Structure 1
Amino acid sequence: MFGQPACEGLVTAQNRPFRFTTSMPRLQQPLSAWRDRVRKIEDLGFHTVAIADHVGDGWSMDPVTMMTIAAEATTTLRVSTSVLCNDFYHPFFLHRSISNLDVISQGRVTIGLGAGWRPLDYSVSGVRFDPAPVRVARLAESVAVLKGLFAGERFTFEGEHFSIEEALGAPRPVQLPHPPIMIGGGGRRMLQLAGRAADIVGINPPRLSDRMTPEGMAREISAEGLRDKADVALAAASAAGRDPNSLLLQANLLDLRVRDEGGGGESRSTSNLVDWLPDGALDKSPLVIDGDVERCIDALLELRETVGITEVHLGRDPDGVAEIVKRLS
């Protein structure tokens, strides 16, 4: 066991069902084969299919476009961004896109937002990579604008980064008061913002790992480090007058290897791009799971019990984790 839950509010998470996410399939031709792949994800019992938001280095899929196609190809599968780079979207126009998609999908959209972390995304696009406090402040304003527009009444906002005057958010989304908002981040500012403003808190390692020692990074993604991050978000929710038990906690498994039972020790990896982490950082993290189906299930149950995480991104290989999804969903 990793220890006891860090906050009494996490006890309620033990009674919550898991909701599993996998990555949006890579775009392929013919498009009918891509649609069939998305339908297979739905048939396997996944709750959500999520798309990242990067540019350059072969990243080619536009999030809103592909979410729309995926939503039209399915009937129950939710579509999500994991996560949008806030600096690439003006919230007025993002609201319009998401509201339309929520109507089209009949209420199956989750908005994942981040402050932006990948310098290459900024350099290739020409968008200025501001210091973290500026990017987080801009994200906070974006969330405020989105919520104001989703309310469906004339909305005015005057901030440091955005100015909205008597704008009417239309159409109203199916999900009221707004589609669920997930804010993902690894630093204290982001976790506090998520606690104040999000429905789902994405608990991530800090991405700029060159600023941290291997020992420090290992602590960040240990059970204790994850509980500390959860506590920051839950405390911020309480300070903002929100019920911390209303928040859902989410995490991406950094490496999941499901071994074939009796299969000679071979495993299938659904790694979530861990090559940027320093050597040794993964050794004791509960976000790294390696074993047969029973071992993987036990590890996920332990993650829910000790940290409170129930929203889990299982990586890029939905077939390889299908039995886990079947057993725990």
Structure 2
Amino acid sequence: MHPFRFGVTASRIPVGRAWTDLARRAEELGYDTFVMPDHLGRQLSPLGGLAAAAAVTSRIRIGAFVFANDYRHPLLLARETATLDQVSNGRVELGIGAGWNTSDYRQLGMPYERPGLRIERLEESVGLIRRLFAGERVTGSGRHYHLDGAWLEPRPVQARIPILIGGGGPRMLRIAARQADIVGLLTQFNRQGRPIAMQATEGETARKVAIVREAAGSREAFERLELNVLVASAGLVGSGSSPLRSVAAMVKAAAPLVVGGSPYLLHGTLAQVHETLLRRRERLGISYYVWSARAVEAMAPVVEALAGR
């Protein structure tokens, strides 16, 4: 059973000192990771933003949550990640996904191809990145990428940079189980950023965990995987209020029963959240939670109570 880890994801944050202050504050509060998405628009570039965060911190781990594979050749992504690992003294985690944001593809002038093709490219890319991280000189052609004597120098500080792959469908979950160190259990969100009720239940999450367990191939391989959830809404409430009513008010699309049992919504008193996370780790194996930087202060008591335990 993995110890609990907690991270904050930051995107639409003011630039400059506000950005680096946030990274410092997350570290001061005991968070384990400081991550950011990879989209075009109102956010810093992840490579520059993460390098700046690394420069003002010393312990917290950094990474994209997640890099869109199609935007970068695997050799370039491996090189940039190795550089981040060097400047952070071995604190990088590589989150990578197949890409999904149609607006990004449109701005880049790239075709938004069928999911199967994007997933196929991702799987090939991760295999190449692993080989480059390991110090191989890579020559060869796959279906999507060709490398000719490609290698990394300097190599990453870490002997094995942890790779996170998120998935909601069976194919992505199976790839994550075979190739990742951390499996992100994704759900579907509506246009307002709220989880779609029937896709966000604990039962549906248990089904995804079962797919990962089977694809891992053995109990030992499954237990090596860290399971992650990106929390859509998180906050602590006073003991005199009803956490279920509070959450139901914020997520109107979800029925109260669904809201109360969703791993993607984390609200309650400190004692209630503490109990929920312990029970969910016991039942589902989920130990790594990431929520918005907007909740960095509010959820700090949870981090203090459970991180590393």
Matches within 5 A, 1:6-155: 13=1, 16-24=2-10, 26-28=12-14, 31-56=16-41, 59-155=42-138
Query: Cα distance, 1:152 vs. partner?
Result: 1.1
Partner of 1:179: 161
Using the size of structure 1 for normalisation, the TM-score is 0.83
Displacement of 1:139 in angstroms is 0.2
SS of residue matched to 2:273: helix
Alpha-carbon separation, structure 1, partners of 2:278 and 2:205:
15
Instruction: Determine helix, strand or coil for the equivalent of 1:250.
Output: strand
Q: Structure 1 stretches (4+) deviating beyond 6 angstroms? A: 264-267
Aligned to 2:206: 227
Report whether the alignment pairs 1:167 with 2:150.
yes
* Contact map agreement 1:286 1:299 (CA 8 A) in 2: no
Query: Could you tell me whether the CA contact under 8 Å between 1:22 and 1:49 is conserved in 2?
Result: yes
How do residues 284-299 of structure 1 correspond to structure 2 at under 5 angstroms?
284-299=261-276
Alpha-carbon separation, structure 2, partners of 1:266 and 1:140: 40
**Length-normalised TM-score, structure 2:** 0.88
Distance verdict in 2 for CA 1:233–1:180, change over 3 Å: same
> 300-309 vs 20-29, which deviates more?
20-29
Distance, in Å, in 2 between the alignment partners of 1:204 and 1:27 is: 23
Per-residue deviation at 1:27? 4.0
Q: Which residue identity does 1:163 align to in structure 2?
A: H
The CA deviation at 1:278 is 5.1
Q: Retained in 1: the 8 A contact 2:11–2:44?
A: no
What is the alpha-carbon distance in structure 2 between the residues aligned to residue 109 and residue 304 of structure 1? 24
Which whole-Å CA distance do the structure 2 matches of 1:153 and 1:286 have between them?
Answer: 39
Residue type at the aligned position of 2:10: M
Residue identity over aligned pairs, in percent, reads 34
Structure 1 residues 98 and 164, CA gap change in structure 2 (3 angstroms): same
Structure 2: gaps (5+ residues): none
Aligned to 2:285: 308
Q: Which structure 1 residue ranges, 5 or more long, are not aligned?
A: 1-12
Give the whole-Å Cα distance in 2 for the aligned partners of 1:156 and 1:48: 34
Determine the C-alpha separation between the residues in 2 that align with 1:306 and 1:141: 33
Q: In structure 2, how many angstroms separate the alpha carbons of the residues matched to 1:155 and 1:257?
A: 47
Partners of 2:259 and 2:239 in 1: how far apart? 24
The equivalent residue for 2:187 is 205
SS at match of 1:320: coil
Conserved 8 A contact 1:67-1:80: yes
Number of residues paired by the alignment? 298
